[in-house]
Amino acid sequence: MQIQHLLFSQGFGTRRICAGLVEQGLVEVEGQWVTDPAHTVVAQGLRFRVQGVPWLYQERAYLMLNKPAGYECSHRPGAWPSVYTLLAPPLRQRGEGAVPGVQAVGRLDQDTTGLLLLSDDGRFIHRMTSPRHHVPKVYELELRDPPTPQQVSRLLAGVAIERASEPVRAAACSITGERAMQLTLTEGKYHQVKRMLAAVGNPVERLHRSRIGALELPGDLAPGQWRWLQADDLQALG
């Protein structure tokens, strides 16, 4: 692959900009400065630098982000900043189309924190969000009042929420503290967790997603930080 095409595929700008980066001597490949945009490289596994910033070629982007509160999962946010501003610029620009860059795999409300996946692989996004695949998502809840065994039973049996044609139920539910609960869902309706707890009379005050499939949010990934998903991470997602 020509180095100018590789840079474009990774989100470093338009084709003209990528060619210009090379011609200006701003691209380093395997310790050597490259100035010919048509210079050919083996893309797979290639490590390179653009303006001194290290990068690893990724044919498709699969990321995890520890989403902090106060960010919207939207490219066109309203009252809050976009979660995409937390990512490196090339991740927001890679690919072509009306909405370039990686996309959130499902959404978390602006006040919800925790594990958020992002990708530019449409098939992966569909598989992870489709209710037919039943990918479990685990949430840690802080509630207004102490939860009761009766509320747990109702959530497991199914509760009626507005705009849902049938009762929605938790795949798993347990009391984890004085005002804390852990809830597992295999579907993702709008504001589902909050609406389910409101239906049993115990509103959610804080909501955090800790796991998707068997992939847990790493303890060393601080709020606002992201990292690439590795092969074992993707396997843990099922």
Q: Is 97 exposed, middle or buried (0-12, 13-18, 19+ CB in 10 A)?
A: exposed
Helix and strand counts by DSSP (H, E) for the chain:
7, 13
Residues 6+ apart with CB under 8 A from 161: 168, 189, 192, 195, 196, 199
Spell out the per-residue pLDDT of the chain, length 238, in tens.
999 999 999 999 999 999 999 999 999 998 999 999 999 999 999 999 999 999 999 999 999 999 999 999 998 888 999 999 999 999 998 876 556 789 999 899 999 999 999 999 989 999 998 878 889 999 999 999 999 999 999 999 999 988 777 899 999 999 999 999 999 999 877 789 999 999 999 999 999 999 999 999 999 999 999 999 999 999 999 7
String of DSSP letters for 1-19 = -BHHHHHHHTTSS-HHHHH
Place of tokens 């998502």: 137
Alpha carbon distance 217, 210 (integer Å):
5
Bridge partner list, 40: 2
Q: Is 80 helix (H, G, I), strand (E, B) or coil?
A: coil
pLDDT computed for residue 98 by the predictor: 54
For residue 121, indicate whether it is catalytic.
Answer: no
Annotated catalytic residue, options 36, 109, 220, 232: 109
What is the reported pLDDT for 99?
Answer: 60
From the list 66, 213, 235, the residue with the least C-alpha distance to 128 is 213
Going from the N-terminus, what domains does the chain have, and what CATH number goes with each?
Answer: 3-56 (3.10.290.10), 62-130+226-236 (3.30.70.580), 136-212 (3.30.70.1560)
Q: Do 37 and 21 contact (CB within 8 A), yes or no?
A: no
- Supply 4's token pair: 């100018």
The answer to whether 83 and 65 are in contact (CB under 8 A) is: yes
| Per-position DSSP letters for 175-225, written without gaps between them | EEETTEEEEEESS--TTHHHHHHHHTT--EEEEEEEEETTEEPPTTS-TT-
